[in-house]
Amino acid sequence: MKEMVVEMLASRGVRLEQIARIVVELQKPYRPDLTVDECLRSVEKVMEKREVQHAVLTGIALDMLAESGALPEPLLTLVRNDDPLYGIDEILALSITNIYGTVGLTNFGYVDKRKMGVLRGLNSHSSKRVNTFLDDLVAGIAGAAAARIAHRSEAAG
């Protein structure tokens, strides 16, 4: 299942290494020595969680259905336009960050607001792609992977 979900992300333009780069940025103030490889390992661990896989499968499916016009109205317009009052994309991503507690949540909010790394491209409305769920999922995975590293270094220190 994990491989399938990772492939699904790649087909939507997101590689795990790009998520790892966001994690490096997030952890820079606390762990300036952290490498992309270490962060990639943390992202891989997050991707092994069933809750995460299910959230990604669900969110990307909704993006794809909106892209092909297959969702019923008014949901189609809400998802297609990434309506600011439609917050279910964020709610779904919270199911990822919740696994790692408050640190994951704080990270998620920061990544989402700053539109870090690969998220910038996903949010540019130049493409015909619908990434309403994808951007939050990526922010959620990055936030969770960073929280995982934070918890571990706390335990070690």
Does 63 bind Mg ion (CB under 5 A)? Our answer is: no
Minimum CB distance to Mg ion smaller for 34 or for 92: 92
Tell me the residue number closest to Mg ion, measured at CB: 89
C-alpha–C-alpha distance, residues 87 and 136, integer Å: 10
Please pick, from the candidates 21, 23, 130, 136, the single residue that binds Mg ion as defined by CB under 5 A.
136
Does 89 bind Mg ion (CB under 5 A)? Our answer is: yes
Return the closest-CA partner of residue 25 out of 15, 35, 16. Answer: 35
Q: How many residues bind Mg ion (CB under 5 A)?
A: 4
Q: Segment near Mg ion (CB under 5 A), from 12-20, 32-40, 82-90, 139-147? A: 82-90
Minimum gap (Å) between residue 83 Cβ and Mg ion: 10
Name the residue type at position 91: I
Does 112 bind Mg ion (CB under 5 A)? Our answer is: no
**Residue indicated by tokens 């490096």:** 24
C-alpha–C-alpha distance, residues 134 and 139, integer Å: 9
Q: What distance separates the 2 farthest-apart alpha carbons in the chain?
A: 52
C-alpha–C-alpha distance, residues 74 and 57, integer Å: 22
Q: Segment near Mg ion (CB under 5 A), from 34-42, 44-52, 84-92, 147-155? A: 84-92
Q: Segment near Mg ion (CB under 5 A), from 28-36, 52-60, 86-94, 103-111? A: 86-94
Minimum CB distance to Mg ion smaller for 19 or for 135: 135
Return the closest-CA partner of residue 138 out of 156, 122, 154. Answer: 122
C-alpha–C-alpha distance, residues 46 and 100, integer Å: 10
State the residues that interact with Mg ion by CB under 5 A.
89, 132, 135-136
